[in-house]
């Protein structure tokens, strides 16, 4: 603390508070706490005003430290809510994930029954194909160094893989999953591309592989990226015949959320605020973004036309002039459209469409005879009133309201940005990033591929496309947020959370209201929040608790129905003992 001096080494100078709730804070500790809170409030205000360009009297490091201290309470509460919602989930002997009352949350954990702790690859993939392939290469280099003559061509590699998969699918061991086949083919395609690039760099034929003794270039290409038949056979056999590990218990997904970045310097909300929106199933989010794919994926002109049809445009943006004319016999307003701007942005706005927009505006109560089209880019608007004393007032009111009239686009869309999707510095396709809501209207816009259009708003996805689309959106949004900060989490954890939020048929947030709809146990809800309120309402209405979950069993002091407690043993007795719950009488 600066109040104690720079070289003071006592505990108070390091921020240690030794007082209790009974004695209260000292003046020094209280002032330090207030200083931290004031800096956080100042930081938030400056970020809103300057759009995160912080210009303050203290350093950025101090600001981030103070904000992280305040955010700890928020992430801690989020972690507690997640643990309370996931505490009684377990995998039963039929491989289903159920809650304490036996309700099915997942028919198979992670859709494959795999244990995330035993996954080798990234993003929850069972195998690290690069590592296994390298082991095969190293072992063969140690035992059989000259591998040049046995190198396969790209066509032979693909043929051997297809034959091996077909042979395994028709055997008694069972077929491989489609996801595993896809991953294996993608990996070998990368190795084939590496082989083709190497041969192309050495001025060799890409598909025709010669023998080792033919030339020195063939020998070099084989040693750099060549694959022999024996190597491919051992690699594919080891992958296809590996056993599948089963999961033993469900994992807590709350830990990674406490390590998100607290500072968000992007236009889209990320980090802890975004995770909070997803877990709470917020009905209103800070930056709703709709990702719209186009039917003409590589045509930038088509993308601009679709953008012009979506983006909200008001009359003040497309009109070059809105003037009051008092010289004529009947005063009026003249609206002149900027035709060059309209044609450059492919808006498709004309004087007739502007007339319809003005007539349909709820606050401007005019009829068709009051709005007249003079030319293709010019309109005259006459006031509806007949009182000449209020004529100028009506004209000025119309002039102030006309620039706000929406003449084109979706009213809930703020802006549309054309995105370029590139793959290895090569343009793959164009898409549209729509900032706003109304997913149904965006999907119905001509030129939009509705099947591949989605929104980051969970509740809007549920209302528009259904509960399964909302479940998929929860998984994708959490995964995208974590990857934006360089964090890889097994997708099975996110699938479990998404299934918990949607298995009731509606999207329920992990909040006090959502957990109350998920759980029916009075003791569990009382142990979470609003203890006295839950206990009073339950006693007043005469509710019963079956004592099935983890919290209820701990409160009552009985074994919980997880792990070893999941088994129930019955004993057959011929004569049941008679239990007496009162002391023996003194006098018989």
Going along the chain from its start, the domains and CATH numbers come out as 2-83 (no CATH), 127-240 (no CATH), 313-408 (3.30.1360), 520-588 (1.10.150.390)
Residue pLDDT, tens place only, 189-229: 888 788 778 777 777 776 666 565 567 777 777 777 777 76
Q: What is the mean pLDDT of the chain?
A: 76
What is the spatial distance between Cα 497 and Cα 510, in angstroms, rounded to a whole number?
9
Q: What are phi and psi of 176, to 5 degrees?
A: -80, 155
What is the spatial distance between Cα 178 and Cα 287, in angstroms, rounded to a whole number?
36
CA 164 from chain centre, in angstroms, equals 38
- The confidence score (pLDDT) of residue 460 equals 93
For residue 548, what are the CA distances in angstroms to 9, 95, 100, 362? 53, 20, 5, 56
226 class by beta-carbon count within 10 Å (0-12 exposed, 13-18 middle, 19+ buried): buried
E strand spans, 330-472: 332-337, 371-375, 378-381, 406-408, 413-422, 427-436, 448-455
Higher pLDDT, 393 or 441: 441
* 3-class secondary-structure state, position 249: coil
Contact of 512 with 529, CB cutoff 8 Å: yes
- The confidence score (pLDDT) of residue 259 equals 40
Residue pLDDT, tens place only, 218-233: 777 777 777 776 666 6
Contact of 484 with 265, CB cutoff 8 Å: no
216-225, 328-337, 456-465, 530-539, range with the lowest pLDDT: 216-225
248 class by beta-carbon count within 10 Å (0-12 exposed, 13-18 middle, 19+ buried): exposed
Structure tokens at 27: 């003046």
Angle (CA) 420-425-430 rounded to 5° is 20
């Amino acid at each position: 603390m600066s109040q104690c001096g720079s070289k003071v080494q006592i505990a108070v100078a390091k921020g240690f508070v030794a007082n209790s709730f009974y004695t209260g804070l000292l003046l020094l500790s209280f002032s330090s706490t207030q200083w931290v809170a004031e800096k956080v409030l100042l930081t938030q205000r400056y970020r809103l005003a300057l759009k995160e360009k912080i210009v303050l009297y203290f350093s950025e490091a101090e600001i981030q430290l103070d904000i992280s201290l305040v955010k700890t309470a928020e992430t801690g509460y989020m972690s507690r809510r997640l643990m309370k919602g996931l505490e009684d989930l377990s995998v039963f002997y039929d491989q289903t994930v159920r809650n304490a009352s036996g309700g099915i949350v997942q028919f198979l954990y992670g859709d494959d029954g795999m244990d995330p702790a035993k996954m080798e690859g990234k993003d929850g993939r069972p195998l690290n194909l690069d590592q296994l392939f390298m082991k095969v290469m190293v072992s063969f280099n140690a035992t059989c160094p000259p591998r040049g003559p046995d190198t396969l061509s790209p066509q032979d590699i693909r043929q051997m893989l297809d034959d091996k998969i077909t042979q395994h699918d028709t055997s008694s061991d069972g077929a491989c999953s489609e996801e595993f086949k896809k991953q294996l083919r993608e990996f070998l395609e990368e190795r084939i591309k590496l082989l083709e690039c190497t041969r192309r760099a050495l001025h060799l034929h890409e598909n025709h592989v010669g023998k080792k003794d033919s030339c020195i270039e063939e020998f070099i290409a084989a040693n750099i990226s060549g694959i022999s038949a024996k190597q491919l056979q051992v690699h594919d056999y080891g992958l296809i015949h590996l056993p599948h590990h089963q999961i033993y218990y469900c994992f807590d997904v709350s830990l990674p959320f406490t390590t998100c970045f607290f500072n968000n310097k992007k236009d889209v909300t990320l980090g802890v605020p975004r995770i909070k929106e997803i877990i709470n199933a917020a009905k209103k989010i800070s930056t709703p973004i709709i990702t719209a794919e186009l039917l003409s994926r590589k045509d930038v002109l088509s993308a601009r036309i679709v953008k012009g049809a979506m983006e909200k445009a008001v009359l003040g943006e497309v009109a070059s002039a809105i003037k009051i004319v008092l010289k004529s016999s009947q005063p009026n307003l003249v609206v002149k459209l900027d035709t060059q701007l309209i044609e450059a942005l492919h808006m498709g706005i004309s004087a007739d469409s502007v007339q319809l927009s003005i007539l349909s505006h709820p606050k401007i109560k005019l009829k068709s005879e009051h709005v007249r089209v003079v030319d293709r880019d010019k309109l005259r608007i006459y006031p509806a009133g007949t009182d000449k004393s209020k004529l100028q007032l009506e004209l000025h009111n119309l002039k102030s309201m006309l620039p706000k009239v929406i003449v084109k686009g979706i009213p809930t869309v703020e802006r549309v940005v054309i995105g370029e999707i590139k793959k290895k510095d090569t343009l793959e396709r164009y898409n549209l990033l729509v900032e706003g809501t109304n997913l149904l209207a965006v999907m119905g816009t001509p030129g939009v591929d509705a099947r591949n259009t989605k929104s980051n708003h969970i509740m809007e996805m549920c209302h528009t496309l259904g509960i399964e689309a909302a479940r998929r959106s929860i998984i994708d949004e959490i995964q995208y947020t974590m990857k934006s900060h360089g964090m890889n989490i097994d997708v099975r954890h996110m699938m479990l959370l998404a299934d918990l939020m949607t298995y009731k048929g509606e999207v329920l947030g992990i909040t006090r209201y959502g957990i109350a709809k998920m759980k029916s146990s009075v003791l569990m809800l009382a142990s979470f929040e609003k203890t006295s309120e839950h206990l009073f309402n339950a006693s007043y209405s005469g509710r019963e608790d079956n004592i099935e979950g983890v919290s209820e069993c701990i409160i009552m002091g009985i074994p919980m129905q997880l792990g070893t407690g999941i088994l129930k043993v019955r004993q057959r007795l011929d004569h049941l003992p008679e239990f007496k719950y009162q002391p023996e009488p003194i006098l018989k």
